[in-house]
Structure 1
Amino acid sequence: MSARTGIRRAAILAASASLALVAVPTSHAAPAAGLDGPKLAKNLVKNVTLEGVNRHLIALQRIADRNSGTRAVGTPGYDASVEYVVGKLRGAGFDVSTPEFTYPVRVDDAATAKVGTTTYEAIAMEFSPQTPAGGITGPLRVVPEDATPGCEASDFAGQDFTGSIALIRRGACTFDIKHRNAAAAGAIGVIVANNAEGKLAGVTLGAPGVVPTGGVSRADGTALAQLGGQTVTLDLRYHDEDHVARNVIAQTKTGRKDNVVMAGSHLDSVEEGPGINDNGTGSAGLLETALKLGGSPKVDNAVRFGWWGAEELGLVGSTKYVQSLTFEQQLDIALYLNFDMIGSPNAAYFVYDGDDSDAVGAGAGPYGSAQIEQAFVDYLTVEKGVQTEGTDFTGRSDYGEFIAQGIPAGGLFTGAEGIKTEAQAAKWGGTAGAPYDPNYHAAGDTLGNIDRVALERNADAVAWVTASYAMSTESVNGVPPRAKRAETRAAAARSMRVAEHHSHATVA
């Protein structure tokens, strides 16, 4: 190595080290610290309006109304929702793709409970073991109805449940607890009767069950309760078939392709309703943000938007998408922002707990998640005057596979079937002791099921944080904005010229 080469390298290293010290973020949440964010973020918040977001919700409601009241994956309502989003994005200058994925659909081969000559519909719960062909047979034992039917072992005292099929009313505890208590008492199968009108379908034990367990309607449960002691045959058999659906992916044509800011929401509803809060609100807020950002904004980092399918069937669309990426393609994603229900009618203001400061069980997200959390907290508290609470990464929404692959994540949530506390009602308004969304996963999740104040506040937060990270992800992963990279190169060049000048002077 020549003396000049050594001096040149030393100068570059010194300049880089000096600027690296400058690059260390002084705030936990660089994008929103002091709300002195980039001009792009301020303009995007101004342009993303409640009126624009609500117009998309009206469109999704009408799509559902024209398609049997649902936008569930596998239905014409979902396909029409995909086409609506795609058309809007292409009109805004995005290159849009709709990658296909497969998802399992359960087909019931047998779903009956038969007593004598009368057959009742009994639908196997998710994770229920299947019966052999022809079913299982035993005496019908009726668990007495009280405030907590089947929730305690004592509910099964006084009768011999050995070899029986237990009939239990829904309510007060999980299906899993009820069926395990029945199995512990000797039951070989369980029938759970609904405590509301309609079929007891689309429900889960939550974990692999120990005995076949099916659900019947409230009326059929009441009829069966009069037949205690008679012989019943429970036949629960099913198989899965693969069906094909589409996600929607759009990315800006500008910005770094190796440091992409990604934001997503699920587009499908449950079969029972149009899903305007869950998750029309997240999808509409994300869509309006994308449209107002445009396909070719002046950004440092490309922004990729995703609308996921089959979330309601187990996060299938987002999981399949992340798993389809190579490790290098996953590295290109700097972070993921998730928006699933941002306008619940009895709204909470939850931010995903990236640093596990609320210590509610799931632990912190990958490095960078804490900074994302703080960016949302800063915006909502400082700009909107709204106190927030952390919500756990429970795995219930589309951030799941991103986190599993080490991609930092964060986002917003206004609550589902959980109950608002007195303290939360005092802080946010609304009704204590009632669900955040009383129409969660139900037919009533319509345009009338929205808190538009919460929706507007959260839509602004979506716009602010997305645009801020489009300009810099330095606080999350250390990648500085273009201006700072230019400063680094200029400083290194200046230091090199100075070093070369000194070298010439020394030689002279």
Structure 2
Amino acid sequence: MPLPPVRPSRRVAVVAAIAALAAAGSMTSASAAGPGDARTDTTRLARTLVREVSGRAAFRHLVALQRVADRNGGIRAAGMPGHEASARYVAERLTAAGYRVSRQEFTFDDYDFLAQTLGETAPGRKALHPLIARFSASTPVGGVTAPLAVVPTGTDATPGCEAGDYAGAAYDGRIALIAAGGCTNTVKQKAAAEAGAIAALINTNNPAENMVLRTRLTAADVRIPVASISKKEADGLVADAASGPVTLHLELRGRARKATTFNLLADTPTGRADRTVVVGAHLDGVTEGPGINDNGSSSAMELETALRLARHFGQVRDRVRFAWWSAEEHGDLGSGVYVSRLGPQDLRDTALYLNFDMIGSPNYARMVYDGDDSDHEGAGPGPAGSAQIEKVFTDFHASRGLPTVGRDFDGRSDYGPFIAAGIPAGGETSGSNLIKTETWARLFGGVAGQPLDWCYHQRCDDVRNPNKTIFDQLGDGMAWAVGRFAVDVSDVTGPNPAARAVTAWTPAALASADEED
């Protein structure tokens, strides 16, 4: 269904409210500008883009990405034809709109999934549904049959992480079932292997009991075959084991390989290059589904925003570089490559980075990346200027009566390399497999105790998955921020941007995530 139209009277009221707030200085760095001062119109382009960028138009790009997935085996993963076709769709429209479009190619370590089957053979017979870990060791062709050994959890916050967790039970020649949490799954499988286990199953332990999330291992430390299974299936195995011995047949086989992919970059032909605003969303998806919310939603809205901005190149004072990253699902590789290739002057010339990841989650929370992290415990603040970016988003949504909550910079998206290099960052998300709290349910509606996107990294993340209300709302936030910073970045960069502290960065500087991004 298309998005319901906004009544003209409401649109006029919204724009009037934004204009009033802007004039009061709540959305701009201007405080006492006089007539003719260039700073008096720092929000004019932003207001225009909010009017012109629509969820309905952006959703047409989402439909196109779904068609791309349908024609390419149901996926749009990096290094595969679905990603190439997605990028071609985006690039053709940007080029026609007058952008300077380029590809930034790179190679990365990938892993082909050759076999991932699991079945209980005793005491009963039932098929289970594992996902082999990326870079897992392989079983022999045809698999292995072995007894199950459940690693106890009790009150342990780090189950299966230490040698002591395996004391008092036999694991030699067995398949270990380990609960998630407390340490990386690479550490868990290594401890299980040292206890004698021949393979490990990781309980995803997600409140969405059928959700299975693929894990990623550090290849150099892999000892045994590893797969993740859903909470429901893990709980079933634990119950069976409590009644007597359980025997499993497991086949996990994969193959490491090198793959080639690319970031897609599009620059406005106007605006100062030494005040570049980078706007980014990852275009690649996972191999488990078409990736329409993750992250077709942000990619589609970014494309629509760029196309509308093209009508107003003459108002762009700070160059805007739109980026569609690749291989984010492999550990933020595309954005990492981009930042690692920036020279010292390029780093200083990058005024700020705006990140958008999953803006249509069906059980959403309206989240803004927490630039100062002062309102709750979290993963740490962003570089200086990030709090000002956060305020631009939160003030905009507040002007519409829409509450927001902070989202920690926890390294799970493409802002990570920018922050590591000292570049101010911010942006929006509506959530992935984070669990909706009762407080969030009161703020935003939806179902407490369930993931913000119950189709996260699943086959059901198709064009029916995104929530069009939050898609439209966060799209307006994107349009506002892009228009605002395309005109003025001074409140983020300070009066002397060349003096900002930036750091040359290499991909090794980021710790690898345990879970697929």
TM-score of the aligned structures, taking structure 2 as reference length: 0.74
Runs of 5+ unmatched residues, structure 2: 1-23, 33-39, 122-127, 498-517
Runs of 5+ unmatched residues, structure 1: 1-25, 482-508
- Once residues 216 and 318 of structure 1 are traced to their aligned partners in structure 2, the CA distance between those partners, rounded to angstroms, is 27
AA aligned opposite 1:163: D
Structure 1 counterpart of 2:105 = 100
Q: 2:390 aligns with which of 348, 369, 373?
A: 373
- Once residues 352 and 254 of structure 2 are traced to their aligned partners in structure 1, the CA distance between those partners, rounded to angstroms, is 39
Contact 1:199/1:216 (8 A) holds in 2: no
- Are residues 1:395 and 2:411 paired? yes
AA aligned opposite 2:401: G
How has the CA–CA distance of structure 1 residues 200 and 159 changed in structure 2, closer, same or farther, with 3 Å as cutoff?
farther
How has the CA–CA distance of structure 1 residues 423 and 456 changed in structure 2, closer, same or farther, with 3 Å as cutoff?
same
How has the CA–CA distance of structure 1 residues 109 and 81 changed in structure 2, closer, same or farther, with 3 Å as cutoff?
closer
Contact 1:352/1:373 (8 A) holds in 2: yes
TM-superposed deviation, 1:168: 1.9
TM-superposed deviation, 1:179: 3.7
Aligned length: 453
Contact 1:348/1:415 (8 A) holds in 2: yes
- Are residues 1:143 and 2:150 paired? yes
- Secondary structure, aligned partner of 2:314: coil
Contact 1:135/1:236 (8 A) holds in 2: no
Q: Radius of gyration: which is bigger?
A: 1
AA aligned opposite 1:142: A
- Once residues 190 and 75 of structure 1 are traced to their aligned partners in structure 2, the CA distance between those partners, rounded to angstroms, is 29
- Are residues 1:301 and 2:309 paired? no
- Once residues 143 and 363 of structure 2 are traced to their aligned partners in structure 1, the CA distance between those partners, rounded to angstroms, is 44
- Once residues 417 and 150 of structure 2 are traced to their aligned partners in structure 1, the CA distance between those partners, rounded to angstroms, is 41
TM-superposed deviation, 1:194: 7.0
AA aligned opposite 2:368: V
- Secondary structure, aligned partner of 2:315: coil
AA aligned opposite 2:417: E
* 1:308-348 deviation per Cα after TM superposition (whole angstroms, max 9, x unaligned): 11111111111111111211112211100001011111110
- Once residues 450 and 122 of structure 1 are traced to their aligned partners in structure 2, the CA distance between those partners, rounded to angstroms, is 26
* 1:254-312 deviation per Cα after TM superposition (whole angstroms, max 9, x unaligned): 11111111101011111111111111111111111110000733221111100011111
How has the CA–CA distance of structure 1 residues 93 and 178 changed in structure 2, closer, same or farther, with 3 Å as cutoff?
closer
Q: 1:438 aligns with which of 445, 451, 454?
A: 454
Sequence identity of aligned pairs in percent?
40
Structure 2 counterpart of 1:8 = none
- Secondary structure, aligned partner of 1:318: helix
Contact 1:38/1:468 (8 A) holds in 2: yes
AA aligned opposite 2:357: D
- Once residues 354 and 346 of structure 2 are traced to their aligned partners in structure 1, the CA distance between those partners, rounded to angstroms, is 17
TM-superposed deviation, 1:360: 2.8
- Once residues 462 and 234 of structure 1 are traced to their aligned partners in structure 2, the CA distance between those partners, rounded to angstroms, is 46
Mapping 1:9-408, distance limit 5 Å: 30=28, 37-107=42-112, 125-126=133-134, 130=137, 140-143=147-150, 160-168=169-177, 176=185, 179=188, 183=192, 186-192=195-201, 202-204=214-216, 212-215=224-227, 240-294=256-310, 296-382=313-399, 384-408=400-424
- Once residues 422 and 246 of structure 2 are traced to their aligned partners in structure 1, the CA distance between those partners, rounded to angstroms, is 55
TM-score of the aligned structures, taking structure 1 as reference length: 0.75
TM-superposed deviation, 1:83: 0.6
Structure 1 counterpart of 2:17 = none
Supply the RMSD in Å over aligned alpha carbons.
4.5
- Return structure 1 stretches of 4+ with deviation > 4 angstroms: 26-29, 31-37, 107-116, 120-124, 130-139, 144-159, 169-175, 193-201, 205-211, 216-226, 228-239
TM-superposed deviation, 1:353: 0.8
How has the CA–CA distance of structure 1 residues 362 and 32 changed in structure 2, closer, same or farther, with 3 Å as cutoff?
farther
How has the CA–CA distance of structure 1 residues 324 and 143 changed in structure 2, closer, same or farther, with 3 Å as cutoff?
same
